Structure 1
């Protein structure tokens, strides 16, 4: 590859949730039969989460947290709320009461009497099978989206097709790739839904209607798939609509306001039945009993109100009220008599409620630690709470593959203000909830990342501007099932021992915590070593049972050495340790960078004082070795080469300096611009360096030539962390930025060089085959080879020679065999070549031949069905008309020549006699009389 490296993004983790409500949706595991003869069974679906992040809606796999598909609204807008519905069967749900007559009654009431909805046929009540998402935006828009499973990529139909894909740089599909399910979210329709800001929206159980609540108390109901208005309710209050509820029979619509009002509308008659104000704060959830006589409401005032409802008498009265213990911030009724409550301090509780008895606590999530409760109360705020395994719209026939409708211990998904979505399940034989896993949907700022070996149960851990350090189970996903808690302030750095037996974390609380990777408990903590925040820590590279060290630096200018072997042998949990050795005032300013040599002989530190200090490690003591000066600004990162006695330092002055540990001098300086460099690391046996700067650019340098061989602007903010993973002949860069984005970039230079070499060899062979076919006059085979090689000049030469030998056979074979045998991509390529030939007057006759054969071979409907035909046919017609006009002009010029040569007499052309006259006069007069006599004789 001529000294250049090739890198590509293996995976990336971007923010996927920025607040608001969340929902679940059922997605197919296998593509549906287009004919509908083989409908999918309930086991062919999986439950996924749907979240909002700014102007984007994301669908996540619950088992891994992987983003399956996304959709960004086309306007410069912000999504405020969402709801989902999964329609798995086109028929009416089984198990409905036989007395239900709402469908027929609605058809009588909607179209004839409501001017807002025109008369519609019965097709308007049809809901297409599929999974749908509806979102409301700040600009009063409603977007209806459909999530579909894409068909897996098929294997090439023939070896020739596989060769063609390889030549174009495509990776042929493999059986493993075919098994990977890919989803796509597409817009079905969008419309303006309200005159005031949209506060909430709600799908009806059948999925046909979309109920939209606004901030002025208005409620509009739309036919979701024909986007026409069916209901327009005026609430008796003017406060924000906060909660919407529509019963399973779609007979009653219940509206809860932000100020505690509850109103009931007859969904069929489109009239207000009754209303009351049973709360003084926002109503979070509403449930209606099966017989419709009792209503339950829960609000942020902690009151669970039990109301008596009589539709005929239009009466809604409160029977009694129960005050729950939690400060309610979100709530959901799993069934009429099961209530789940999320609180402002992060507590999640489940209650059994009834019409006559007191509320019974079923399960409760334990309180967070006291320190977290004091500092992270805002982040613990539960924003949204939904029941796991029960997506809306899934009919009874499909309930069995999620959660049994009769169970009372269903799991929950809780989204908090810290942008984390926790999966909560009840513990067996206890009244406690436990957090099984957490989807960390927003990293905030990625401050440090460390990876584990492939055999480890966790892939990597991330420090992201929080007091907790999370470990992630899957590469490229945001699902975390382990969290390290104990720090009282933000964690800034972490380290993993070379044998992965211990993990260390440190941060603003000035404490170093040691974690055992078997039990994941804090076995010891280092105290009284620093008086300011700890900025960087690192284990020694060759640990043993007795020689196991940890080095730390901080903003207090100190360098500390900790005996990690004592932490491993600690008798009591969280045993306090003090540093074994240290250097006070190692720099004249805060120390930000720390690196340990591969042989444990040296430790390098760098900070704001622009100098790099090298310390020798003897036993368990530190001694000053050298102070390296040359940078014009502070040092941000340090790294040792694994192959040479070389130290690399990155600085805010935009340079990377390579220091020889033998001569203590700078041997090389690498710089492209003056952008501050924040990270640096050696890789590829010390022959290359990768850097990350303050503009989000990742750059690879060749040490020998001091040149940049690859660069990419992967991030939009500062790159705070850069980790290089080298194993099994692969190199992966793990980079994190201040925007909360984590990206893994892999080196595929060897793979690309091998592919280019194979393509070059294969091209040479095919070119030889093309030359042989031309010599043998096998023009049909030569035509296909030239088209497959993507050589327009060779293809044109084939057609020219073929026409010169037998034009009729060429035209007939093109129309009858060759053009029909081309696939869509080859046909598009041929037409593109034809367009280029048509622009040149020397080659237009070849283009005319191909165009004539193409239009003769395909019906005009087939031509119009081609997606690229407009961009190809228009230039062909334009240039064809130009060439035709040129030929007509040439023909007219030939007519003028005929006129000149045949119609005019010689006397009209010249005043002199023709040449024959001079010749005869010269013969009769003689040469001696001269030319004047000849002229007079002629006259």
Structure 2
């Protein structure tokens, strides 16, 4: 029996699109901590820290950003570009104030402001350091002495001390006097690139960090070393702790000595008492993952915001982790770049969160309302698949390239996600998992080792990390298993593989019940219908096949995708199907008619992940373009809008009929054009032509006042009328009015003008030829009549 039309979905529209906002480079927090500014490819994104959304982008086409800096006035931003230009922006409205040449021979990789936001220093890879007055717009200093790339530039925090420090490739930190442009002193001690430099004004001392695995404490009066502190790691960033402020939770109690926070290779925050050279605190609960390349920095930058008292930790995998400074408690996490999104699952009671698997060993869990991101640590290799169950959305199952599956539980008060069980029995990457649907009693996994396993889920024990036990194992396919799913009643299991087959298994003992043959290439998706005894499968051959679970025959094939079908889900209680493919398209199908009723195009790459909310109100998709998109069901809104539009049109058509009956032709003409009724428009014009010159004068005034869209419609009508000799007079009249009252620029602003010209010229030539023939014929008739009359006169005279 066919479903009622109101049950079927008509369309989904983009509700939220979460795109990459940080792909590496510099991150800076504005003065009040409300916005993050991050480099992302060729632009700078301004991020709302409350919701993690991009509110503005600073971009100059075809000119990639290298670095940037915000002034202390919290409005001025200067960026350096690959073209060698420097740009002064007002980042709050996205406008470019001024652009000028950097005068460096090579790109500028370091920019910093002084405390007054009057001077900005630029350091290039050519060994020169230039200082600019951005208010008076000229270069004030060209400081020389360094060699190669500048890694650190810093003005003295005290504006009375006209000094600037710069560290270049020779690992020396030079101090220049801005009044004389001379070098006051050189801090020598590092043997590798200097990565951090902070000044304690009240002590006239400084601390520097480098990749040579030491911190050096300096006396700025004598430019000599006070202490070398070994860190045993490559340090990438350094932040001072405000002098005189105790932090007992971080073991900072000696307020008379300077302290700094360092971060780098190990991926943890460390606090040092600089005077004593001792490490007073080491972070033990860091969320930073270790890079695959040994020795690469895990933390690339740390930023401190005084107003919010937050510490921003920027990691190598483009995550931004926010801590409360006083105790390093986690405040928030942002995922700046997701890489390829491999799988998605709704998570949490009420489906309030999204679990996302990317090219990462961490699972990212997003809060739908705030888009706050939580990282789940546990797997040691890339996470490949996720699964939740309608019976309990607080449980999440993940599988990974580390050959394991893990079970996670979310608790709301307080909010916490913990790993409660794990299983390690596969000998290959686990590419697919599924949870039992009617009751959480087991889970199924399919692996690259071609095995299908059923794992027992015991009543969840929150304490401890249990090991999952395997109930049944079977060598299910000849090649990798890409997809598994469980039937709504938990009695059947389906698997899909690269061997082009889908198979049906009994969940009680993994007995093979049926083999589904028909796809020409490997399978990526299988899904049971929630209502009928039907299984859907999607394949690399671009087809979606629907199979009977009674005789395992193919019922129908849905053709429409031009590339691999990677994900499928039933919606509308099984009457419809949503599919995602490697062409970046998501399609909505009505199964009874085999019709594709909607195609959703918002991704730029393969759509690897697709999840549907239990009430079908939201879809979420993820792709190789790193975009995470929430799609909202707009069927009801579109139907209501269609009904309202129909009612409105009926009223307008009745109004048009009334105007015609009353003889108000000019008002009727405007309404007929609005309703897109060319035939009625033509009839009105004919009647106006019959009324004489005064009506045509009023018509000309009325046409001039029409909107651009209405004039364009009238032009399109005239182009069509002009092809018929019976209506060409009205077409020529309209064209005459348009040509006489508009400039060429105004005419070519009409969308249809360029396409109309060719047709108008061809038929106008025909009309002119016909008129010429008509004029010739009208001239021949009087001439012939005159000749006949003259001949008759001659004959009469001869007769007489």
Q: Shorter-normalised TM-score: what interval?
A: 0.7 to 0.9
- What is the rounded CA distance, in whole Å, between the counterparts of 1:910 and 1:872 in structure 2? 54
- What is the rounded CA distance, in whole Å, between the counterparts of 1:607 and 1:6 in structure 2? 31
- Alpha-carbon offset, residue 446 of structure 1: 1.7
Give the aligned partner of residue 652 of structure 1. Answer: 540
Secondary structure, aligned partner of 1:756: helix
Aligned ranges for residues 270-289 of structure 1 at < 5 Å? 270-288=181-199
- Greater CA deviation, 706-715 or 652-661? 706-715
- Alpha-carbon offset, residue 586 of structure 1: 2.2
Give the aligned partner of residue 916 of structure 1. Answer: 793
2:715·2:752 contact (CA, 8 Å) conserved in 1?
no
**How many residue pairs end up in the alignment?**
755
Secondary structure, aligned partner of 1:51: strand
Give the aligned partner of residue 246 of structure 1. Answer: 155
- What is the rounded CA distance, in whole Å, between the counterparts of 1:303 and 1:511 in structure 2? 39
Secondary structure, aligned partner of 1:770: helix
Superimposed CA distance per residue, residues 114-135 of structure 1 (whole angstroms, 9 cap, x where no aligned partner): xxxxxxxxxxxxxxxxx34433
- What is the rounded CA distance, in whole Å, between the counterparts of 1:253 and 1:811 in structure 2? 76
Give the aligned partner of residue 337 of structure 2. Answer: 442
Give the aligned partner of residue 57 of structure 1. Answer: 44
- Alpha-carbon offset, residue 285 of structure 1: 3.4
2:11·2:588 contact (CA, 8 Å) conserved in 1?
no
Say if 1:63 and 1:485 are closer, same or farther in 2 by CA, change over 3 A.
same
Give the aligned partner of residue 348 of structure 1. Answer: 269
Say if 1:585 and 1:641 are closer, same or farther in 2 by CA, change over 3 A.
same
- Greater CA deviation, 550-559 or 258-267? 258-267
Secondary structure, aligned partner of 2:420: strand
Q: 2:587 aligns with which of 687, 699, 705?
A: 699
Secondary structure, aligned partner of 2:69: strand
Aligned ranges for residues 473-552 of structure 1 at < 5 Å? 473-474=367-368, 479-480=372-373, 482-498=374-390, 499-518=392-411, 520-527=417-424, 529-543=425-439, 548-552=441-445
Say if 1:289 and 1:609 are closer, same or farther in 2 by CA, change over 3 A.
closer
- Greater CA deviation, 603-612 or 266-275? 266-275
- Alpha-carbon offset, residue 19 of structure 1: 1.2
Aligned ranges for residues 203-218 of structure 1 at < 5 Å? 203-218=113-128
1:78·1:138 contact (CA, 8 Å) conserved in 2?
yes
Q: Does 1:604 align with 2:494?
A: yes
Secondary structure, aligned partner of 1:740: coil
1:339·1:351 contact (CA, 8 Å) conserved in 2?
yes
Q: Does 1:82 align with 2:87?
A: no
Q: Does 1:220 align with 2:130?
A: yes
- Alpha-carbon offset, residue 846 of structure 1: 4.9
Q: 1:451 aligns with which of 340, 346, 361?
A: 346
CA RMSD of aligned residues (A): 4.4
1:424·1:434 contact (CA, 8 Å) conserved in 2?
yes
Give the aligned partner of residue 35 of structure 2. Answer: 48
- Alpha-carbon offset, residue 422 of structure 1: 0.8
- What is the rounded CA distance, in whole Å, between the counterparts of 1:577 and 1:905 in structure 2? 111
Give the aligned partner of residue 137 of structure 1. Answer: 81
- What is the rounded CA distance, in whole Å, between the counterparts of 2:354 and 2:272 in structure 1? 37
1:235·1:263 contact (CA, 8 Å) conserved in 2?
no
Give the aligned partner of residue 21 of structure 1. Answer: 26
- Alpha-carbon offset, residue 460 of structure 1: 0.9
Q: Does 1:577 align with 2:454?
A: no
Give the aligned partner of residue 339 of structure 1. Answer: 260
Give the aligned partner of residue 709 of structure 2. Answer: 829
Superimposed CA distance per residue, residues 402-440 of structure 1 (whole angstroms, 9 cap, x where no aligned partner): 34xxxxxx221111111111112235xxxx523322111
Q: Does 1:685 align with 2:573?
A: yes
Give the aligned partner of residue 469 of structure 1. Answer: 363
Aligned ranges for residues 23-422 of structure 1 at < 5 Å? 23-25=28-30, 47-75=34-62, 77-85=63-71, 87=73, 131-148=75-92, 185-193=94-102, 194-224=104-134, 228-247=137-156, 249=159, 251-288=162-199, 290=201, 293-309=204-220, 317-323=223-229, 325=231, 327-333=234-240, 339-351=260-272, 357-358=275-276, 364-366=282-284, 368=286, 381-389=298-306, 402-403=307-308, 410-422=309-321
2:71·2:117 contact (CA, 8 Å) conserved in 1?
yes
Superimposed CA distance per residue, residues 72-96 of structure 1 (whole angstroms, 9 cap, x where no aligned partner): 4311x543212223646xxxxxxxx
- Alpha-carbon offset, residue 605 of structure 1: 1.4
- Alpha-carbon offset, residue 919 of structure 1: 3.4
How high is the TM-score relative to the length of structure 2? 0.82
Q: 1:639 aligns with which of 505, 511, 527?
A: 527
- What is the rounded CA distance, in whole Å, between the counterparts of 2:683 and 2:201 in structure 1? 80
- Alpha-carbon offset, residue 462 of structure 1: 1.0
Secondary structure, aligned partner of 1:517: strand
Superimposed CA distance per residue, residues 630-668 of structure 1 (whole angstroms, 9 cap, x where no aligned partner): 223322211001121011122223322211011221121
- Alpha-carbon offset, residue 450 of structure 1: 0.6
- What is the rounded CA distance, in whole Å, between the counterparts of 1:207 and 1:795 in structure 2? 64
Say if 1:506 and 1:361 are closer, same or farther in 2 by CA, change over 3 A.
same
- Alpha-carbon offset, residue 236 of structure 1: 0.6
Superimposed CA distance per residue, residues 879-901 of structure 1 (whole angstroms, 9 cap, x where no aligned partner): 9xx9xx99xx99xx9xx99xx99
- Greater CA deviation, 911-920 or 510-519? 911-920
1:448·1:464 contact (CA, 8 Å) conserved in 2?
yes
- What is the rounded CA distance, in whole Å, between the counterparts of 1:65 and 1:420 in structure 2? 12
Give the aligned partner of residue 562 of structure 1. Answer: 455
- Alpha-carbon offset, residue 558 of structure 1: 2.1
Give the aligned partner of residue 761 of structure 1. Answer: 647
For structure 2, which runs of at least 5 residues remain unmatched after alignment? Answer: 244-257, 723-727
- Alpha-carbon offset, residue 613 of structure 1: 1.8
Q: Which has the higher contact order (CA 8 A, sep 6+)?
A: 1
Secondary structure, aligned partner of 2:574: coil
- What is the rounded CA distance, in whole Å, between the counterparts of 1:747 and 1:385 in structure 2? 41
- What is the rounded CA distance, in whole Å, between the counterparts of 1:378 and 1:914 in structure 2? 117
Superimposed CA distance per residue, residues 811-862 of structure 1 (whole angstroms, 9 cap, x where no aligned partner): 68997x998xx8xxx743355467668987844655666787899xxxxxxx
Say if 1:874 and 1:64 are closer, same or farther in 2 by CA, change over 3 A.
closer
When Rg is computed on C-alpha atoms for both structures, the one with the higher figure is 1
Q: 1:460 aligns with which of 313, 337, 354?
A: 354
Q: Does 1:595 align with 2:485?
A: yes
For structure 1, which runs of at least 5 residues remain unmatched after alignment? Answer: 27-44, 89-130, 150-184, 311-315, 390-401, 404-409, 856-862, 925-939
Superimposed CA distance per residue, residues 455-482 of structure 1 (whole angstroms, 9 cap, x where no aligned partner): 35x411111132222211135x7531x3
Aligned ranges for residues 726-805 of structure 1 at < 5 Å? 726-727=614-615, 730-778=616-664, 781-782=667-668, 785-786=671-672, 789=675
- What is the rounded CA distance, in whole Å, between the counterparts of 1:211 and 1:793 in structure 2? 69
